[in-house]
């Protein structure tokens, strides 16, 4: 009976594989115009006709409107090239695709921190804690931390749904970490643990946006999560431009101008998004600038949505990360003065644990009845994943100098951050050495956002294939070198200017190769399209 | 310097604790009417006045409309009682709270399956795979499975964002599991891995609902995720009633009547939700009934949203789980005939790994361009957590008889499922032995949904405190016994009938105690409110 079942699944699998193979040869006319835009995975499913119960014309129009460049067209082309390279080695002038499109450090070889992974493994399989061998395999403080975490979970049940905001003991430990960082108290009840920062951002957008009359002030350029989430929730993105000439400066006069403009159009602006350190722009705000922003939000009755996921990623001596809560408290603003949400994630920093989907938001200045609504929204998804919750507590409370793990931890952390700083500088210098390219300093975060002066001829060539000029540049770069940059048009930019976003994440020994491929491509491109 | 920092955080922590302590004594007038409804956590934040930038009147009205009973008022009361019991032991006529409100097996003592946790620990900390001790600590097939999984992840990077649909190799292994279950092929490209089933349900609602003119047919009683998600996305819930008299039968005539009624009101009904095995009702659909449902969806051009998260939870000999895809294929319906979504989760079954937030949806019959939109929605959240992805692949491909783990796995699995069947029967019999209570068989899932005939006097007493009669009953039960049931009003029920939902999850040795407390309470309640 069992043998039969195994044989049966083998046959089914072969049928599945054959279905795929034949579908690859069939081009579905209905999909040809748009299949290039997103998932290559979907192509395989097109071999048979589909039901027409759901059509693009009948779905939620807000979904259609939403765009998400960092996983958009350029990535789909890259994935196809990768498959092609695998099937036909030597078929392209490069032998690997280098994904510089997304802040995903471990996908490019960054190694996770030992202490974090030790604790996660012990919490996943607490059986290990009672074994003699464990003392040889794990550091003493990882073992004691795992015990402490397990003891903070009712019934030590790491497989149970937690409180909708996350496990209380983990939130308390995060609150201690925040208090130590800021020098101001933090309340564990203000923490909502989430599956990365993205669901927290969606939750705030869902709370604040009731219709297209509700506006959210967002930087341009911005991380496309914001434009996507605002589009999905049916609100209005109110743009404010960062000033490239002053190192992506955030000017209060610009905020004020855009706010008034939006108000004159009948839009109620509900919140201001600030990304600090900046994504895709890499700037780190000064304390003075942050104070002005806090005062502006108070004056204009705006919720301050502070994307602080790059708080550990600062690479310059003269700048330092300050949370907006610290700034607000330092000028004497309490809960009654300012409504503030701070987003943090385990995906960035030196940890880069994107796949673990851990993060939190700290909310302050909300009334009790609005907090209940936020709690209810969190409850509808039950809770975030417990491993991510544990990791968020570790990230906010890493090993201390007296702990056995500390030396290893410190070396790993320092190794990653100092290498990121060197990589940022090397790439920045490289961009600035290219003809017609200028690039601001990457003070923080994981990106550079160089400005490209494209010739009329290049712009015409892009127009001829119905592409944005920077998308045209990025596509040509990809086809020539295997390097994936995201066109600036995916982030927003001053009309008539063109950029690309490039992560600083390729491993350090690969950076010289990236730079020489980039230089060679850029010179050829410039020659080809010189006016 | 470091000592100073440690001392500083200690002081901050004390300040935080003091702030909490004082706030506990202060009753915030603004919150008094509603603070009982949701989070007890929020109470601590009310000590200082809050900014009025965001008010309940200014937030998204769809959020206000959303309700989620399984984590609603009754749970908040239970949490308060629990705190009270801790602070003042002996202050109530029971010494523990028994949470029968939510399908959260491990929170009530269910132990996770060894094989699953071994593989998760090894994938979290692959360093272990190279160590001699590992052979003593882990089963051979857990080690080989971990290697296989790691090899399917590009760069073995378990901390990297995956493909937006989930890691390809894991989806392929899930597809094999589905094909073996159904006897029909499954395509890995049809699988979207998600953080539990809830985000998948939200994604489909977001896709299908553009306005309140878009309706979704939902069973009544239903799992409140559906009503909550439809409310959040601004659609219309079109109810169809399950027939309690025929064991919660799903009648096509009722579907048709409700569909026509909705259409006559100008609502475009987009989809039919079927939960099988049923939540909160516990029935398992017959093949014949499933065929009728599939044909109805084809005839009426409805997407079939099949909640199949309890597929492993069937407790009666004469019933068997059949996926809707298997049923559709068995009557010859392919992609062009029916648009079908099947939701699965690692939270239920015998595994009960709620906190891991793993799950998937299998989508078939969508056109290529609509699939691209679904892919884009998945991309906006980047990916689901990798541990949950791994667990979903394990759940759909557990150890086989030839594997070292199999005997242990089989014993653990059988132990849990057979105990659940016994618990379901004991509780069902107990409910049926109570005066004025009738309870259908729990054929599957994790719940009983007994009907309470409440006296006029009880209904009057409930009205006097502005409570639904079943909420009144549940609250009295909780205060008398510490047992948490969710009132039927949170799931929907035929007007004028009253129910409670009770999970079958308390550990087996506790069931007799639960039953005797329940009986004693019910007798006293019946006496007190006899007309």
A527: contact with B, CB 8 A cutoff: no
Dihedral sign, CA of A210, A338, A223, A371? Answer: negative
Percent of chain A having pLDDT more than 90? 85
Beta-sheet pairing, A498-503 with A447-448: antiparallel
Using 50, 70 and 90 to split pLDDT, how confident is the model at B40?
Answer: very low
**Where among A362, A395, A428 does a domain terminate?**
A395
Asked if the model's pLDDT at residue A95 lies above 60, the reply is: yes
Whether B387 sits inside 8 A of A385 (CB atoms) is yes
Cα–Cα–Cα angle for B514, B519, B524, rounded to 5 degrees: 130
pLDDT (tens digit per residue) in A393-420: 999 999 999 999 999 999 999 999 999 9
* Residue B327 reports pLDDT greater than 70: yes
Task: Give the model confidence (pLDDT) of B89-119 as tens digits.
Answer: 999 999 999 999 989 999 999 999 999 999 9
Q: With an 8 Å Cβ cutoff, is B200 touching chain A?
A: no
Question: For B444-469, what is the mean pLDDT?
Answer: 96
Whether B48 shows a pLDDT value over 70: the answer reads: no
Please, which residues bridge with residue A360 across strands?
A193, A344
Residue of chain B with shortest Cα separation from A206: B60
Question: Is A41 close to B228, i.e. CB distance below 8 A?
Answer: no
Residue B42: inside a domain: yes
Q: Could you give the maximum distance between any two Cα atoms of chain A, in Å?
A: 76
What is the DSSP annotation of B210-229? SSTTEEEEEEES--HHHHHH
In angstroms, the Cα distances linking B251 to A63, A446, B256, B509 are: 34, 57, 9, 38
Is A275 part of a structural domain of the chain? Answer: yes
Structure tokens at B104: 């959260």
**Residue B85's CATH number:** 3.90.1150.10
Q: Where are the beta strands (DSSP E) in B280-406?
A: 303-307, 340-345, 359-364
Average the pLDDT over B404-421 and give the result.
97
Check whether residue B379 and residue B477 sit in a common domain.
Answer: no
Say if residue B373 is in the same domain as residue B313: yes
The rounded distance, in Å, linking the Cα atoms of A470 and A473 is: 5
Q: Does B154 contact A at CB distance below 8 Å?
A: yes
Of chain A residues 462-501, which have a CB less than 8 A from chain B?
none
Residue A256 domain-assigned?
Answer: yes
Band (pLDDT 50/70/90 cuts) for residue A9 is very low
- CB distance B194 to B356 below 8 Å: no
Q: Give yes or no: residues B266 and B313 share one domain.
A: yes
Chain A residues close to B175, C-beta within 8 Å: 16
Determine if residue B498 is left, alpha or beta; phi over 0 gives left, psi from -120 to 50 gives alpha, anything else beta: beta
Count the Cβ atoms, other than its own, within 10 Å of residue A326: 17
Q: Cβ of A121 and B128 within 8 Å?
A: yes
In terms of domains, do B337 and B472 share one? no
Mutation site for A-interface testing, chosen from B160, B172, B212, B214 by largest number of A Cβ within 10 Å: B160
Tell me the C-alpha distance between B231 and B233, whole Å.
5
- A86–chain B Cβ distance below 8 A for any pair: no
Q: Choose the mutation target among A7, A9, A10, A54 for the interface with B, i.e. most B CBs under 10 Å.
A: A54
Query: Measured between alpha carbons, how far is B33 from A27 in angstroms, rounded to an integer?
Result: 61
C-beta atoms of B54 and A303 within 8 A? yes
Which one of A32, A64, A124, A210 would you mutate to disrupt binding with B, by most B Cβ within 10 Å of its Cβ? A124
Mark yes or no for CB contact A368/B301 under 8 Å. no
A63 and B376 within 8 Å at the Cβ level: the answer is yes
Instruction: Evaluate if residue A31 carries a pLDDT over 50.
Output: no
- Asked if A16 lies within 8 A of B179 by C-beta distance, the reply is yes
If we measure between CA atoms, which residue out of B514, B412, B526, B468 comes closest to residue B94?
Answer: B514
Among A177-186, B26-35, B313-322, name the one with the lowest average pLDDT.
B26-35
pLDDT digits (tens, 9 = 90+) for A182-224: 999 999 999 999 999 999 999 999 999 999 999 999 999 999 9
Dist. CA B419–CA B61, nearest whole Å: 44
In a domain, A487, yes or no: yes
Joined together, the tokens standing for residue A437 give: 């390219």
Which among B102, B152, B368 is the top mutation candidate for probing chain A, defined by the most A β-carbons within 10 Å of its own β-carbon?
B368
B372/A124 touch (CB, cutoff 8 Å), yes or no: no
B135–chain A Cβ distance below 8 A for any pair = no
Domain for residue A451, yes or no? Answer: yes
Instruction: Indicate if A391 and A422 belong to the same structural domain.
Output: no
CB spacing of B180 vs A9 below 8 angstroms: yes
Q: Look at chain A and report how many structural domains it folds into.
A: 2
Interface check B165 vs A, CB under 8 A: yes
User: Between A73 and B19, whose confidence is greater?
Assistant: A73
- Whole domain around residue B513: which residue ranges? 36-96+414-531
**Shared domain check, A518 and A423:** yes
User: How confident is the model over A422-446, as a mean pLDDT?
Assistant: 96
Of B53, B121, B369, the CB nearest to A31: B369
pLDDT band at A76 (very low <50, low <70, confident <90, very high): confident
Residues of B in contact with A225 (CB under 8 A): 380
CB contact at 8 A, B157 and A354: no
From chain B, the residues in CB contact with A185 under 8 A are 12-13, 15-16, 19
Give the domain-ending residue among B395, B424, B453. B395
Check whether B171 has a pLDDT greater than 60: yes
Judged on CB neighbours under 10 Å (0-12, 13-18, 19+), B93 is: exposed
B408 chain-A contacts, CB cut-off 8 A: none
Q: What is the 3-state secondary structure (H, E, C) of B301-325?
A: CCEEEEECCCCCCECCCCCCCCCHH
| B340 and B196 both lie in a single domain | yes
Domain for residue A22, yes or no? no
Name, in order, each residue with C-beta under 8 angstroms of A169's C-beta and a sequence gap of 6 or more.
A149, A151, A152, A153
Chain A residue numbers touching B373 (CB-CB < 8 A): 38, 56, 59, 63-64
Question: What Cα–Cα distance (Å) separates residue A204 from each residue in A144, A327, A342, B117?
Answer: 36, 21, 11, 34
How confident is the model at residue B76, as a pLDDT? Answer: 87
What's the pLDDT tens digit per position in A276-297?
Answer: 999 999 999 999 999 999 999 9
Give B20 or B82, the one with higher predicted confidence: B82
Is the CB of A372 less than 8 angstroms away from the CB of B187? no
CA-wise closest residue to A107 among B385, B147, B123, B157: B157
| Domain of residue B308, CATH code | 3.40.640.10
Q: How open is the CA angle B243-B247-B248, to the nearest 5 degrees?
A: 40
**Given a cut of 80, is residue A30 above it in pLDDT?**
no
- Shared domain check, B376 and B296: yes
pLDDT higher than threshold 60 for residue A58:
yes
Smallest CA-to-CA distance from B175 within B488, B397, B492 is with B397
DSSP A444: B
Contacts 24+ apart (CB under 8 A), B519-526: B519/B430, B519/B433, B519/B434, B520/B481, B521/B476, B521/B477, B521/B480, B521/B481, B522/B434, B522/B435, B522/B437, B523/B435, B524/B480, B525/B458, B525/B473, B525/B476, B525/B477, B526/B435, B526/B436, B526/B455
Helix (H) or strand (E) holding B351: none
By C-alpha distance, the chain A residue nearest B199 is: A381
In tens, the pLDDT along B461-498 reads 999 999 999 999 999 999 999 999 999 988 999 999 99
Q: Minimum mean pLDDT among B29-33, B162-166, B305-309, B322-326: which range?
A: B29-33
- If asked whether residues B303 and B206 sit together in one domain, one would say yes
Q: Is residue B118 part of a domain?
A: no
Instruction: State whether residue B147 is helix, strand or coil.
Output: helix
Mean pLDDT, rounded, for A50-79: 87
Residue B399 pLDDT more than 50? yes
Same domain (yes/no): A320, A441? no
Contacts of B135 in chain A (CB under 8 A): none
Cβ contact A290:A325 at 8 Å: no
The yes-or-no verdict on residue A357 having pLDDT over 80 is: yes
Is A166 touching B (CB cutoff 8 A)?
no
Instruction: Tell me what the pLDDT averaged over chain B comes to.
Output: 90
In a domain, B30, yes or no: no
Rounded to the nearest 5°, which phi and psi values hold at B48? -105, 155
- Closest partner CB to A185 (pick from B12, B364, B388): B12
Tell me the C-alpha distance between B407 and B140, whole Å.
13
Distance (Å, whole) CA B473 – CA B458 = 8
Tell how far CA B256 is from the center of its chain: 28
**Can you tell me the ipTM of this complex?**
0.90
pLDDT (0 to 100) of residue A13: 46
Q: Are residues B375 and B269 in the same domain?
A: yes
The closest CB to that of B9, out of A63, A176, A380, belongs to A176
Q: Residue A17: pLDDT above 50?
A: no
Q: In this model, does residue B365 exceed pLDDT 70?
A: yes
> Is A39's pLDDT higher than 90?
no
Last residue of a domain, one of B368, B395, B422: B395
- B387-410 burial, b at 16+ Cβ within 10 Å, e below that, comes to bbbbbbbbbbebbeeebbbbeebe
For A458, the token pair is 């290049």
Residues of B within 8 A of A6 (CB-CB) are: 400
**Same domain, residue pair A201 and A247:** yes
CA A149 vs. chain centroid, Å, equals 27
For the segment B343-366, the average pLDDT, to the nearest whole number, is 97
């Amino acid at each position: 009976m069992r043998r039969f079942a195994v044989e049966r699944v083998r046959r089914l699998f072969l049928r599945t594989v054959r279905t795929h193979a034949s579908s690859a040869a069939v081009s579905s006319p209905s999909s040809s115009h748009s299949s290039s835009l997103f998932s290559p995975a979907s192509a395989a499913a097109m071999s048979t006709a589909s039901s027409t119960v759901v059509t693009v014309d009948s779905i939620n129009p807000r979904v259609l409107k939403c765009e998400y460049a960092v996983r958009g067209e350029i990535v789909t082309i890259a994935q196809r090239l990768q498959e092609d390279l695998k099937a036909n080695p030597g078929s392209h002038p490069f032998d690997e695709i280098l994904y510089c499109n997304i802040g995903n450090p471990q996908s490019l070889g960054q190694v996770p921190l030992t202490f974090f992974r030790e604790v996660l493994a012990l919490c996943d399989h607490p059986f290990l804690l009672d074994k003699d061998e464990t003392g040889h395999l794990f550091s003493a403080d990882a073992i004691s931390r795992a015990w402490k975490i397990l003891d903070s979970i009712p019934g030590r049940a790491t497989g149970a749904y937690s409180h909708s905001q996350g496990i209380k003991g983990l939130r308390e430990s995060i609150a201690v970490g925040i208090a130590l960082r800021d020098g101001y108290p933090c309340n564990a009840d203000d923490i909502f643990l989430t599956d990365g920062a993205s669901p927290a951002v969606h939750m705030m957008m869902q709370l604040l946006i009731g219709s297209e009359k509700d506006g959210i002030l967002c930087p341009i350029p911005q991380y496309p999560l914001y434009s996507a989430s605002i589009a999905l929730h049916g609100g209005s993105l109110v743009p404010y431009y960062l000033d490239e000439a002053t190192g992506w400066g955030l000017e209060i006069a610009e905020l004020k101008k855009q706010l008034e403009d939006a108000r004159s159009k009948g839009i109620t602006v509900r919140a201001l998004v600030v990304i600090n350190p900046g994504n895709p722009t890499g700037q780190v705000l000064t304390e003075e600038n942050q104070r002005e922003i806090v005062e502006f939000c108070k004056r204009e009755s705006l919720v301050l949505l502070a994307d602080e996921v790059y708080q550990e990623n600062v690479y310059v001596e003269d700048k330092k990360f300050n949370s907006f809560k610290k700034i607000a408290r330092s000028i004497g603003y309490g809960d009654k003065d300012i409504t503030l949400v701070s987003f943090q994630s385990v995906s960035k920093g030196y940890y880069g644990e994107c796949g673990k989907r851990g993060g939190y938001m700290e909310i302050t200045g909300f009334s009790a009845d609005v907090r209940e609504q936020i709690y209810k929204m969190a409850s509808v998804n039950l809770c975030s994943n417990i491993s991510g919750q544990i990791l968020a507590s570790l990230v906010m409370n890493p090993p201390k100098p007296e702990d056995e793990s500390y030396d290893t931890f410190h070396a790993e952390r320092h190794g990653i951050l100092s290498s990121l700083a060197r990589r940022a500088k090397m790439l920045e210098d490289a961009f600035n050495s290219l003809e017609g390219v200028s690039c601001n300093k990457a003070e923080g975060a994981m990106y550079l956002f160089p400005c490209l002066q494209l010739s009329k001829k290049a712009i015409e060539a892009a127009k001829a294939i119905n592409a944005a000029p920077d998308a045209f540049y990025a596509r040509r770069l990809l086809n020539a070198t295997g390097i994936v940059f995201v066109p600036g048009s995916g982030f927003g930019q001053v009309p008539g200017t063109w950029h690309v976003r490039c992560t600083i994440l390729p491993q350090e020994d690969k950076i010289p190769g990236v730079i020489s491929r980039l230089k060679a491509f850029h010179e050829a491109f410039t020659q080809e399209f010189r006016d």
